[in-house]
Structure 1
Amino acid sequence: MPNDPAEPLPVLRETAFGTAKLMPDLDCPGGWLLTVDGTPQSYVDLTDPQHLEFEYTHRLGHLADTVAPPGAPLAVLHLGGGALTLPRYLAATRPGSRQLVGEADGPLVELVAEVLPWDGQGIEVTVGDAREVLATAEPGGHDLVVADVFRGSRTPGHLTSVEFVRLAAAALRPDGVYAANLADGAPLDFARAQAATVRAVFPHTCLLAEPSVLRGRRFGNLLLVGSHRELPAAALTRRLAGDPFPARLVDGPELRRLTGTADPVTDADARPSPVPPAGAFSIG
């Protein structure tokens, strides 16, 4: 049977850091999956921007929902853009938000703008390295800074140091919140060092992840959150418990025990996040 001429087709393009593919979700009109070299990067639903497909984006959404009163606009700096899942979510849930997205892959930005445009949503995208974008950000001008940067399936080393986190802190308002999405597996050495790094800058820190990831039973995403003010741990815990794949919030003494003797990472010893095991994220 020939293809329906109205049916969207996959789009494949070489970008600065690999082969990007935008694939329509045939089971969800308006849904699109972005992969780079076979690794899922983003899922967006043009008909329902509040639809968060990936579990770690659920957690980012919960965080964004709880850092300020419902509907209140936020000033947000997103480091790493992909297909702009979280910026679109915030534009829908917090109209009037001022959002700047830094994405290093210029051709990827062009592809997403062409296939999944975001005009009129109050989202500005600039092409540049995440650390360079952060270094030039308005000091003390943001309610939320989100670092979600993967070069393929790994976070670049220069975005994992205490110097980088200090730049994020400088870009935040006094009660602002920093969040970093990372990936790790047993024995969680990278996650422990990242927890120590964020704790070295922010007095209030928590870690959000599925129990199986925290126990080292599988490789997966962890969300590190830091602030100079008390975090909404109780509200986050309730929301995490209601997810299809519930996650745990680890803070206080439990986070200190998890961090153990890990030292904060500095620019001098920073390394990229670990290589995922075969099949951890790739979908072909």
Structure 2
Amino acid sequence: MTRGPREPMPGRYPVTFGEVELLQDLDRPNGWMLSKDGVPQSYVDLEDPTYLDFEYVRLMADVIDVLPDGPLNCVHVGGGACTVPRYVSATRPGSRHIVVEPDAALVELVRSQLDLRSVPKLKVRILGGREATSGIWDGSTDLFVLDAFSGATMPVELATAEYLADVARVLRASGTLLINMADGKGLPFARRLVATAFGAFKHVALLAEPGIMRGRRFGNLIIAASPTELPVDLLTRRAAGGLTQARCVYGEALTNFVAGASPIHDGDAVLAPAPPPAVFGME
């Protein structure tokens, strides 16, 4: 007799790089959050992979939903609970995924507790982002999702012009890159990362909640970048129609946003911003 997936068990679990906590959503019995050092990392609903709890993930989904119909060849740098691969597989059957995650014990935890084996055509590579990307074929990828965090900060080595040039290499001419980053007052890191994206891609857009976009509070912003034109009108409408009425900035407005900020290069003394303690109740 074939056994079904086992029921997840909430609690703290040791992983390769520290410890994570698995929390059940009291409002959604099939909803589970993965947290590390008090920072929420991923949320998945095991019965409904199209339910996206985090606003920034919904913005990513807005971009994915306006891409041409059909299955996608995807690369995801930053595994977590694999929320985006689950969503893409549910909304675009036949899609293929390479998930890059350096924490082997975390991957095994997600396999055993959060039914990762239920996601079809998904392969995990236990590698760092740059090493894994260097081994992917040229022009093989429709969607590249860069959502890698060490705790609450983005690894700067994944935000440089040299790395984004390698990402551009693996994307098809019609492919799309999505970057999840976080920034706070004045958005200095976001401006530099957008400038870096412009160095590798002709078309770039930035999506975020209005308060975050204005640099008034710390939070997540999404960069969408592509060698080909992005459907910015559709993106603007979808973002504005969400619960938080997010903004989509592109064209001249995005050029003005960058305001002469310099791209990030390997070796630059740049620190990715960390959230204030109050953001995740860590005071």
What's the TM-score bracket when you normalise by the shorter of the two chains?
over 0.9
- 2:182 corresponds to: 183
Answer yes or no: is the 8 Å Cα contact 1:157–1:270 preserved in 2: no
| Displacement after TM superposition at 1:270 (Å) | 5.4
Answer yes or no: is the 8 Å Cα contact 1:158–1:270 preserved in 2: no
Between stretches 274-283 and 148-157, larger displacement belongs to 274-283
Answer yes or no: is the 8 Å Cα contact 1:156–1:271 preserved in 2: no
Look up the equivalent residue of 1:261 and give its one-letter code: G
Structure 1 segment 67-86 matched on structure 2, within 5 A:
67-69=67-69, 72-86=70-84
- 1:203 corresponds to: 202
Q: What number of residue pairs does the alignment pair up?
A: 277
Look up the equivalent residue of 1:96 and give its one-letter code: G
- 1:98 corresponds to: 96
> Distance in 2 between the 1:283 and 1:96 partners?
41
- 2:16 corresponds to: 16
4+ long deviations beyond 2 Å: 6-9, 281-284
Change (3 A) 1:9 1:234: same
| Displacement after TM superposition at 1:33 (Å) | 0.3
Look up the equivalent residue of 1:167 and give its one-letter code: D
Cα displacement string for residues 60-100 of structure 1 (whole angstroms, at most 9, x for unaligned residues):
1111111112xx10000000010000000011000100111
Q: Give unmatched runs, 5+ long, in structure 2.
A: 1-5
- 1:88 corresponds to: 86
- 1:163 corresponds to: 162
Answer yes or no: is the 8 Å Cα contact 2:179–2:223 preserved in 1: yes
| Displacement after TM superposition at 1:11 (Å) | 2.6
| Displacement after TM superposition at 1:281 (Å) | 3.2
> Distance in 2 between the 1:251 and 1:257 partners?
10
- 2:43 corresponds to: 43
Answer yes or no: is the 8 Å Cα contact 1:80–1:150 preserved in 2: yes
Answer yes or no: is the 8 Å Cα contact 1:154–1:275 preserved in 2: yes
| 2:178 counterpart SS class | strand
Change (3 A) 1:264 1:114: same
Look up the equivalent residue of 1:126 and give its one-letter code: R
| Displacement after TM superposition at 1:283 (Å) | 6.8
Change (3 A) 1:283 1:93: farther
Match among 101, 105, 110 for residue 112 of structure 1 = 110
Normalising by structure 2, we get a TM-score of 0.94
| 1:231 counterpart SS class | coil
- 2:56 corresponds to: 56
Cα displacement string for residues 186-236 of structure 1 (whole angstroms, at most 9, x for unaligned residues):
111100000100001111001001110111110000001111110011111
Cα displacement string for residues 79-133 of structure 1 (whole angstroms, at most 9, x for unaligned residues):
0010000000011000100111001111111111110112242211111101111
Answer yes or no: is the 8 Å Cα contact 2:186–2:216 preserved in 1: no
Answer yes or no: is the 8 Å Cα contact 2:240–2:247 preserved in 1: yes
Look up the equivalent residue of 1:105 and give its one-letter code: D
- 2:150 corresponds to: 151
Answer yes or no: is the 8 Å Cα contact 1:145–1:177 preserved in 2: yes
Answer yes or no: is the 8 Å Cα contact 1:160–1:272 preserved in 2: no
Q: Give unmatched runs, 5+ long, in structure 1.
A: 1-5
> Distance in 2 between the 1:196 and 1:26 partners?
41
Change (3 A) 1:8 1:128: closer
- 1:235 corresponds to: 234
| 2:117 counterpart SS class | coil
Asked whether 1:248 is paired with 2:247, we answer: yes
Normalising by structure 1, we get a TM-score of 0.94
> Distance in 2 between the 1:100 and 1:224 partners?
20
Look up the equivalent residue of 2:116 and give its one-letter code: W
In percent, how many aligned pairs have the same letter? 44
Look up the equivalent residue of 1:53 and give its one-letter code: D
> Distance in 1 between the 2:98 and 2:140 partners?
11
> Distance in 2 between the 1:133 and 1:270 partners?
24
Asked whether 1:275 is paired with 2:264, we answer: no
Answer yes or no: is the 8 Å Cα contact 2:144–2:177 preserved in 1: yes
> Distance in 2 between the 1:129 and 1:228 partners?
25
| Displacement after TM superposition at 1:16 (Å) | 2.3
| Displacement after TM superposition at 1:7 (Å) | 8.4
